[in-house]
Structures are given as structure tokens and as C-alpha cells.
Structure 1
Amino acid sequence: MLRKLLCAAALIAVAVTGVHAEGVDELNPDVAKRLYNKDMLDPMQPVGPSKWRDFKPKKGPPWKIGYASSYAGNTWRAAAMDELQNVIVPEWQKLGLLSEVVVTQSNLNDSTQIQQIRQLVDQGADAIILCCSNPTALNASVKYAADKGVPVFSMTGYLTSEYAVNSSVNYQVGGYEIGKAMAEQLGGKGNVLVVEGIPGTSGSDSQNRGVLAGLATAPDIKVVGSVAGMWTDQVAQGEVQKWLATNPGKLDGIVVQSAAEMGVLRAVQQAGRGEIPVAIGGELGALCYWRKNPNYINASYQLWPPADDIQLMWHIMMRTLQGQGPKVQSILVDPVKLTHEDLTKVMDENCNLDSAEWLKVGAKRWGYDPSYLDDFFLRPADPRAFKP
């Protein structure tokens, strides 16, 4: 019965009914139809009118920003931090719009992150960025910040608080595309292992829901197992190795949430299980493997390029601080599909198979280019040109 329901959801998504969730009527109709369609939108994704539509900050720039990170132990977080510290901070300090960024780490402990958010507010942060957190656990601290005039911005996943501003790809759509691509890769028949991210986080759960729907488009695809890779190569490698050791039967493909595909590739190779197709995201080492083996997979989907994700959130935050007025609670972008031909244009055969770096998609393809982002604000303007 579950498979039938997932198939029905997937077929409805392909048909694109055009039924929109409440609160997106001010957006470009094509964007609303593509990314805010109820049939392929996480049912918990907040898409109502933003509470910060008429917001004006307590003071002008330069602003102090808090980054309450929940985790630092994978290549994605390292790449996002590198972009923040070495690209974003110098640029926006030079523009005179940023005084400093204060970074905290909670190591996946909700209670610690709640305390850190409150401390950042009390220490004078003008806005706070979060990443990839539990969708409900932080809501009280988001309200605490809002009551003091401090907006909270959740990137790469959503918070359900009506006071949060969220940005990400539509993970359910992205997961659906990945699952469907794997089903097509296998000719519509075979056994598939699913490697989730961090269960309980919105980005992981939304994407996994989409993956299952995409796989279900082929009735002869069977999901034979599921493990949590925790978006970390070392963890995913260990979990997949254990699964392979205890499940010697036929395995035809593995769908994995980045950043863990490098670990999964290594686990398959070390187990001697042959050329099992593994879904590849944005890790350059895994993309390099595909670059050197053109027939390995048919396509790659970029769902959360870290440098682009933090740039997108930064631009949304700066626009909000400048009083541009976000229209909706969640600003969503499209997953980006890469073919092998696309890959050859950005990576040559002398690439590094062990690279832990990430592909950067760029502003125009990831939504922080003004031509896309302007539509999500009531009073759009170039945030870099702001003069108080």
C-alpha cells in the first residue's frame, strides 16, 4: 500500500497540478508551480507570509551576525565555513555592512544550540543564521530572538517557527529526481540500498521522502535496506560496510545523501561488490570518479552546494536587515542536474579522487542572483549597494 501511495504522489508530481500552498500567491507563477506545489512539498515546510515583511532593524550597519552551527564534522560544513570566513566576511566588511560574525558549534545537541542562540541574542547579534537543525526543537529560542527584534535564518532545511526565515532547495523534489534517476539507471528493476542523512532533520527527512517516491516510479525497484550516513563520509562508510557484510545478496544500486558518497564508494570498493551505481552529489572526489568513468551513472543532482547555500542565506539575511521584506517564510530553489558533459566543462581527467572539496554551482544557477531572488522580496534592491 505504501508503495502505491508513493507511486501516486510521484505521478501527480510529474503531472504538476499547479495547486499552490497558501502564502505564495505573490511569487512568479512558474516558480510557485514548480517548487511550491502541494503534491511535492514537504507537508511541514512553512510557506505562509513572512513575519518579517515590514521589519526594520534596531540599528543600521555594520551588523553583528551570529552563526549557530549545529555540527562541524563533515566536508559540507567545512566548505560552508570556508566560504563564510574567506569570501563572505571580507567582502561584506569591506562594503561596511558587517562588523563581525560570531560562530558557535553545538555538535548536534539541541539543548546546547538553544542556549547558544539565546547567548548570541543577548550578546547583541542583529541576526542569526542556523544550519540543518531539528525543525521544531529550536522554535522557542527563535521566538526569544524575534521578541528582541532579531530575525533567525535557517539554511539548508527549515524550522517550523512562524518567525524563522528558511532557504533551501525543495528537498522533496530533489530527492524525487535522485530516486527516479536511480530507477532509470537500473532499467526499472533491482535492489537498492538507501543511505539517509541525519534522520530527524528537515533536510534529511524531506529528501528521503522524495527519494522513496522517485524509486517507487518503477514497481520492480525494491528498497532492501536503509542506514543513516549522518552526512559524513566516515560514518557512511562504516554503516554501509556493516550492511554489506550482513547482506550478501544481490545489490544493484545505492542512493545516498551527500556529503557521504565518498564513504559509500569506498565501502563498495573495499567490499569487492563490483561497480554498483552510487548516487553522486557535490563532493569533488566522487565527481572525479564519475569524470574518469563516464558510464558509471547518468546524472548527478546538486541539492546543497555548501558555498552557494550559505551565500543564498546571506543574501536573504542582508536583504531582510535592509528592510526589503521577504514575502514568504521559505525561499526555495531548484535542484541542479549535471550530465557528464556538464562535468567535463568544470573538471578535467587529472582531478583528485581524494578531494574533500565541493562543487560550486554559482549565483545564477543557485538562486542568489538578483534576477531570481528579487521576486521573493516586496522591496527588492541590490543588497551590496545599500546605504543607510
Structure 2
Amino acid sequence: MTFLRTLAIAVGMAASCAAFAHADGVDSINPDVAKRLYNPDMLDPAQPVAASPLQDFKAKNPPPWKIGYASSYAGNTWRAGAMDELQNEIIPKWKELGLISDVVITQSNLSDSTQIQQMRQLVDQGVDAIFVCCSNPTALNQTVQYAYDKGVPVFSMTGYLTAPSAMNSSVNYQVAGFEIGKRLAEELGGEGNVLIVEGIPGTSGSDSQDRGVKAGLATAPGIKIVGSVAGMWTDQIAQGEVQKWLATHPGKLDAIAVQSAAEMGVLRALKQSGRTGVKVTVGGELGALCTWRKNPDLIDAAVQTWPPGDDVQLIWDVMMRTLQGQGPKIQSVLVDPVVLTYEDVAKILPEDCDENSQAWLNVGKDNWGSQAYLNDFFMKPADPTAYKP
């Protein structure tokens, strides 16, 4: 399949991205990547991009390492996909390599206080590193410092933590959101009414992508945002919220801009309401991609912003490299979104695909933080699977 990379997306939003001021950490990475993904005009203003304080980090113990995963939520298909990759691919592989002994998993169900308590318990139980997912960007900061002071680095995937010692990895959500919004505006011919379905407001990934979507839509003055609901990255919740919105807003609706994982719920809500001809942005849920496969006019392209297996592989590689002493240059490792055309999806999915599938499309390591790409983010890069203490 052909994956179309998103490159100079900032055209039309920023006057110029040829030169800009940025943090010291960005100076040390590939200039093309810095211009594309770390340009302040296209970067969440709170995204940590200073030089990483873990450049000289040394793991407190030799491998095999004990890892903690302090998950904040388990209630959607994306989390299930990430957990499947972790338990069935990553853990067996790295145990066989002799580099990890165990992964201790906790779930906090969107409670910051519970996640804080669980992270402290993981530190006290002797883990060598902790990674988290999609958490509040500031609430965990004192706990991250507590872990750091005890020699336990903390890593955040699909969203950032603002603690100075935390390492982060994700797509640039503002760039991805801008791509989604701008493409949708163009597909509508520059005018129309759009409903926005956010993820979980208050989390960095959701807020960054929402900011980007609105900026992309704003490139066409004829686009009107007629409402916004929180889908909570969960199909069932998004379906209910969109159904309620549609029932109380009978006016013309041209499109819905959705954050995954919620597009299947949105599609069901539209079907139940009897609304037709509404464009719906599509992410990585296979059920939604299948609906697009069977309905080519649904949208022109799908923007992949968080393939779950690829996201957990990305933070795992960043974490293993750091434990091995490779020295991360910068606090946040950002990657490009990946755009799929209808032709790409037609090659991936058969005509008789399942519109109710809860699985996700992963675009693969070569498209989401390849070894060569990650090498540029470390002082002493090496293949982490070949590590010999």
C-alpha cells in the first residue's frame, strides 16, 4: 500500500516556516524534521521541546528491567489495541531478548489521583521505568519528579507530560488536526456547517488535535463550526452525544470532524437519525474504514493520528533506548501523521469487510518512528534490540 506522508502542512497557516525561534533541544535534530514538526506556529504551545535532562541517564539496575505501565483508561477500542500489542508482541519479544523481566499494568479509569497513587506504588515496588498513556499534562508532574528522584524515568505516549524530566512521544497532534480540518474544508468547497467531536477534553492529545482541526477549518472563511461535543475517544459515548446533538439541531449539517476512537459511533448516530450526505472524517478504526470502503463519497482521505500498536511500539523504543544510556536529545519525539487515500483502503480491506470491526489499522514502524528516524533523536543511537550490557 502507498502511504502519503504529511510534510509541509503549515502552508497557508504560517507566513513562513523557513526560519523560527525554538528551544535548545530542537537545534540538535534534523532541520527538516524541526521545521515540519517543531515549528512554533504548528506546535502545541505547551509541548515540551527543550533538551532532555535524561541525556546522561543511566539505569539504576542492569537488565532484565521491570517496567510499569500506568494506564489511565481501558474503555475504548484504541486502548484494547495498544494493550494487545503490548501483551502479545512487545512483552514476549523483549523477554526473549532478556531485556525485561516483567511489565506491571495498572488502570486508573480517568482518575488523576488514582493514577498518581498507582505510579508511586510502582516506584516503591522497584520498577526501572514507567510509561503512561494520554494523561493529564500537569496533574502527574510531582509524581514524575518523585519517580525521577528514585532513578525511575517516566515516559508518556500519545500525549505529553509537562514535567521537565518526562519523555514524550506521539504524532504532532496540532499538525494532524490541521491536516484533518484543512482537507475537510477543501472537500466542502470552502463553505458548510461542521460539527466537531473532541476526544477527552483536558488531555494534551485531544486539546492539541482540536486546536489544529479548528485552525484547519478556519483556512476557509465559509466554514461554520455549529457545535462541539466530547466523544471521550469512545464510540458508545460519541454515538450518544451526537444523537442528542442531532435531535436538538435539525438545521443543515455538512460534515462532522471526529477524533478517533469515535467515528464508528458517529456513523451509527447519523444512520439512526436518517441524516444523509454528511461528510465524516475517518481515522484508524477498521470498522469506520470499512464503511468508507463501501461508501467512497464519505470522505476523500483518512488521516492516521494514533495507530495504537505503532504508538506503543514508539514509546517502548524510546524507553528502551533511554534505559540503555543512548541519551535522548529532546523531551518530545514527534512523528508525522500518515494520510490514506481511498485507493489505499481498497487495497487493505476487501469489499466484504466488517463494518462492526473493533480492530485498528497500524501503519507500521517504517511509517511511525523507524529505527533510522529515531536514531536522530539520541546522542548515542543504536539498535535497542541488540543491546548487550
- Cα deviation, 1:340-371, whole Å, max 9, x if unaligned, reads 1111222121211100000011001001x211
2:84 matched to 1:68? no
Q: Which residue of 2 aligns with 1:161?
A: 163
Q: Secondary structure at the match of 2:282?
A: coil
Superposition deviation, residue 13 in structure 1: 3.4
Paired AA for residue 363 in structure 2:
V
Q: Which residue of 2 aligns with 1:78?
A: 80
Paired AA for residue 220 in structure 2:
A
Is contact 2:180-2:213 (8 Å) kept? Answer: yes
Paired AA for residue 161 in structure 2:
L
- What TM-score do the two structures reach when normalised by structure 1? 0.96
Paired AA for residue 112 in structure 1:
T
2:136 matched to 1:134? yes
Q: Which residue of 1 aligns with 2:6?
A: none
Q: Which residue of 1 aligns with 2:261?
A: 259
2:379 matched to 1:378? yes
Paired AA for residue 216 in structure 1:
A
Q: Secondary structure at the match of 2:339?
A: strand
Q: Which residue of 2 aligns with 1:13?
A: 14
Q: Which residue of 2 aligns with 1:233?
A: 235
Superposition deviation, residue 16 in structure 1: 2.6
Q: Which residue of 2 aligns with 1:105?
A: 107
Q: Which residue of 1 aligns with 2:3?
A: none
Is contact 2:13-2:219 (8 Å) kept? Answer: no
**Hey, what's the Cα distance between the residues in 1 that align with 2:154 and 2:22?**
23
2:15 matched to 1:43? no
**Hey, what's the Cα distance between the residues in 2 that align with 1:14 and 1:145?**
42
Paired AA for residue 379 in structure 1:
K
2:221 matched to 1:219? yes
**Hey, what's the Cα distance between the residues in 2 that align with 1:334 and 1:13?**
18
Q: Which residue of 2 aligns with 1:4?
A: none
Superposition deviation, residue 18 in structure 1: 3.5
CA RMSD of superposed structures (Å): 1.0
Which structure 2 residues correspond to residues 340-351 of structure 1 after superposition, within 5 A?
340-351=342-353
Q: Which residue of 1 aligns with 2:59?
A: 57
Superposition deviation, residue 12 in structure 1: 3.6
**Hey, what's the Cα distance between the residues in 1 that align with 2:140 and 2:119?**
9
- What TM-score do the two structures reach when normalised by structure 2? 0.96
**Hey, what's the Cα distance between the residues in 2 that align with 1:381 and 1:210?**
34
Q: Which of 233, 243, 246 in structure 2 is aligned with 1:244?
A: 246
**Hey, what's the Cα distance between the residues in 2 that align with 1:147 and 1:239?**
43
Superposition deviation, residue 293 in structure 1: 1.6
- Cα deviation, 1:105-154, whole Å, max 9, x if unaligned, reads 00000000000000000001100000000000000000000000100000
Q: Which residue of 1 aligns with 2:152?
A: 150
**Hey, what's the Cα distance between the residues in 1 that align with 2:16 and 2:233?**
32
Q: Which of 160, 175, 178 in structure 1 is aligned with 2:177?
A: 175
Paired AA for residue 14 in structure 2:
A
**Hey, what's the Cα distance between the residues in 1 that align with 2:346 and 2:59?**
45
Q: Which residue of 2 aligns with 1:300?
A: 302
Moved over 4 A (4+): none
Paired AA for residue 185 in structure 1:
E
**Hey, what's the Cα distance between the residues in 1 that align with 2:276 and 2:348?**
28
Superposition deviation, residue 185 in structure 1: 1.3
Superposition deviation, residue 15 in structure 1: 4.2
Which structure 2 residues correspond to residues 320-359 of structure 1 after superposition, within 5 A?
320-359=322-361
2:209 matched to 1:207? yes
**Hey, what's the Cα distance between the residues in 2 that align with 1:128 and 1:19?**
34
Deviates more, 1:286-295 or 1:257-266: 286-295
Q: Secondary structure at the match of 1:181?
A: helix
Q: Secondary structure at the match of 1:345?
A: helix
Is contact 1:20-1:36 (8 Å) kept? Answer: no
- Cα deviation, 1:35-56, whole Å, max 9, x if unaligned, reads 0001010000000000100001
Superposition deviation, residue 20 in structure 1: 4.5
**Hey, what's the Cα distance between the residues in 1 that align with 2:207 and 2:294?**
32
Paired AA for residue 355 in structure 2:
L
Paired AA for residue 372 in structure 2:
S
Superposition deviation, residue 14 in structure 1: 7.3
Q: Kindly, what percent of the aligned residue pairs are identical?
A: 71
Aligned length: 379
Paired AA for residue 365 in structure 1:
N
**Hey, what's the Cα distance between the residues in 2 that align with 1:14 and 1:91?**
47
- Cα deviation, 1:57-110, whole Å, max 9, x if unaligned, reads 011100000000000000000000000000000000000001000000000000
For structure 2, the 5+ residue unaligned runs are 1-9
Is contact 1:10-1:214 (8 Å) kept? Answer: no
Is contact 1:194-1:225 (8 Å) kept? Answer: yes
Which structure 2 residues correspond to residues 115-130 of structure 1 after superposition, within 5 A?
115-130=117-132
Paired AA for residue 378 in structure 1:
M
Is contact 1:68-1:103 (8 Å) kept? Answer: yes
Superposition deviation, residue 181 in structure 1: 1.0
